[in-house]
Structure 1
């Protein structure tokens, strides 16, 4: 049945390493208010799949049914006139209880559906791209969008630190902090080399950066400009921030290259509490007691791992 006179419904497919699952689910909760133990999520919320380092594809459901034949019967309604189209089967991997379909089976399904659509097939640059998915023995068909790994283009920066966040983690953190950029003002007041800034700015998040280290601030500006982005990075301590923001993202300095005491860490949190309604904190240490002392309430959290190294991502209000 087609989704007529109803809010649109979307299906997203996901893929992540086991070490990233916790971070992936926190990002899901930020976007959709729920997460999924599977690699498929169904929601009425529309998110560009290229925002997430974990989303692979999205279908906006047009038709659904208990069998492929039910889909074939419904897609006969599609008349594209002179427009071109392509159909892609999403079952190229296991999706929860739905097993991967073989290459020939997927191509046959795509051909069978294509024969029912009034339009001209184009496998390279179609005007309309449709997707077909069987999930938990139920079939879905609709408008298809494939994720583009934008974050991958940001891996090679002119300036980098070995301890900086990976672009994947930085992109997920930016999404967790600002799932919907509309009307949101954000700041990264300890921005370092600008890894989070680059990811956030590439998603049109209104964010500014700041750092106390002049060389680091210069490097951050250079990285932002390298990718053709426009972002403001100022020099100075977090204590000098006087503007109010909706959200702050803070990758807490730690004693590898930055010598910082617990009192200085607490001061960073107390200043963030002063000018931001919401704070997303990345830390290698457990700082729950320090957060409480600074006046924060923990709303959500996860652990992002990379081998034996792990960081906590904390969402606080």
Structure 2
């Protein structure tokens, strides 16, 4: 039986609350309003655009002294290490700990830890935190903002999804990539594709416009990724996929009718049983007519502009 527990801390703008909680539900099966979450599910923090860090819990206790006693019994596993106190900001209802006190906690925990401390180039970093009147200690896993690098694409459209939104939508569609075949059949310049491929997700791309397919391929290569993007309408998709992501066309250069949107959804039903739709319009009736049911939804805001994210099966 796996008794491991993981703690994740979050940083997100208030406009991203709903989207972040939807990503939580995809990863963990539930969400929290707080900026800290504990789960037996292990997720690499760098996958999420909202996670700040993760802690692979090794021991926990109601008191700091009790935690120290458990730390003394641990095996370092690496010759050198350092300890970080993660209470540099409020964690839920637990107020942050001041700088001097955090340094004292790090020092005291480090003195109890087997191995050789190294504050500059440690081979392993451990984290310690207080949350909800309980202390935790474990292996520290910082989040790297990989998605941030993807903002600088060679080819961009003003109406393309932002990288944070694209990464979150990809995680919502494919929370656990192993064995999953995914497709973005209206991929545009490949914003979703770049995020998926950078996370090791097996996702194919397709678009009816040769110019945007060319741009998508160039964007993928720019980041050293390897992915397949083909030219053609969604009606020409022949293979079956576990999930599809569709950012519904809506800009001034894409004169798509309601009938055209419905056709896209009906075609998607032909080759996938799970669909994540990004739309600026309310299209619940089309989702139903295409043979899908909406099982989860949220609104992703950016200033006064809003998109609906629909998870359909």
TM-score (norm 1): 0.97
Residue 94 of structure 2 corresponds to which residue in structure 1? 98
Residue 246 of structure 2 corresponds to which residue in structure 1? 250
Residue 296 of structure 2 corresponds to which residue in structure 1? 300
State the Cα deviation string for residues 63-113 of structure 1 (Å, max 9, x = none).
111111111111111343870011011111111110011111111100010
1:144 aligned to which of 140, 143, 146: 140
Give the Cα–Cα distance (whole angstroms) in 2 for the partners of residues 80 and 22 of structure 1: 39
1:132 aligns with 2:128: yes
1:36 aligned to which of 13, 32, 39: 32
Give the number of equivalent residue pairs.
Answer: 313
User: 1:60, CA displacement in angstroms?
Assistant: 1.1
User: 1:173, CA displacement in angstroms?
Assistant: 0.5
Instruction: Decide whether aligned partners of structure 1 residues 235 and 145 sit closer, same or farther in structure 2, where only a CA change above 3 A counts.
Output: same
Residue 210 of structure 2 corresponds to which residue in structure 1? 214
Residue 240 of structure 1 corresponds to which residue in structure 2? 236
Give the Cα–Cα distance (whole angstroms) in 1 for the partners of residues 311 and 107 of structure 2: 46
Residue 261 of structure 2 aligns to a residue whose secondary structure is helix
Residue 197 of structure 1 corresponds to which residue in structure 2? 193
Q: Which moved more, 1:256-265 or 1:230-239?
A: 256-265
Give the Cα–Cα distance (whole angstroms) in 2 for the partners of residues 211 and 191 of structure 1: 6
- Asked if structure 1 preserves the Cα contact closer than 8 Å seen for 2:82 and 2:126, the reply is yes
Give the Cα–Cα distance (whole angstroms) in 2 for the partners of residues 161 and 81 of structure 1: 48
Instruction: Decide whether aligned partners of structure 1 residues 16 and 82 sit closer, same or farther in structure 2, where only a CA change above 3 A counts.
Output: closer
Gaps of 5+ in 2: none
2:43 aligned to which of 30, 44, 47: 47
Residue 30 of structure 2 aligns to a residue whose secondary structure is coil
Residue 115 of structure 1 aligns to a residue whose secondary structure is helix
Give the Cα–Cα distance (whole angstroms) in 1 for the partners of residues 78 and 59 of structure 2: 22
Give the Cα–Cα distance (whole angstroms) in 1 for the partners of residues 177 and 99 of structure 2: 39
Residue 229 of structure 1 corresponds to which residue in structure 2? 225
State the Cα RMSD in Å. Answer: 1.1
- Asked if structure 1 preserves the Cα contact closer than 8 Å seen for 2:188 and 2:212, the reply is yes
Residue 126 of structure 2 aligns to a residue whose secondary structure is strand
- Asked if structure 1 preserves the Cα contact closer than 8 Å seen for 2:36 and 2:92, the reply is yes
Give the Cα–Cα distance (whole angstroms) in 1 for the partners of residues 122 and 175 of structure 2: 30
TM-score (norm 2): 0.98
Residue 269 of structure 2 corresponds to which residue in structure 1? 273
User: 1:235, CA displacement in angstroms?
Assistant: 0.2
Residue 245 of structure 1 aligns to a residue whose secondary structure is coil
Gaps of 5+ in 1: none
1:184 aligned to which of 180, 186, 190: 180
2:103 aligned to which of 97, 101, 107: 107
1:167 aligned to which of 156, 163, 167: 163
Residue 192 of structure 2 aligns to a residue whose secondary structure is helix
User: 1:15, CA displacement in angstroms?
Assistant: 1.0
User: 1:6, CA displacement in angstroms?
Assistant: 4.8
2:55 aligned to which of 56, 59, 68: 59
Q: Which runs of 4+ in 1 moved over 6 A?
A: none
Residue 181 of structure 1 aligns to a residue whose secondary structure is coil
State the Cα deviation string for residues 35-73 of structure 1 (Å, max 9, x = none).
111011110011000000001111111111111111111
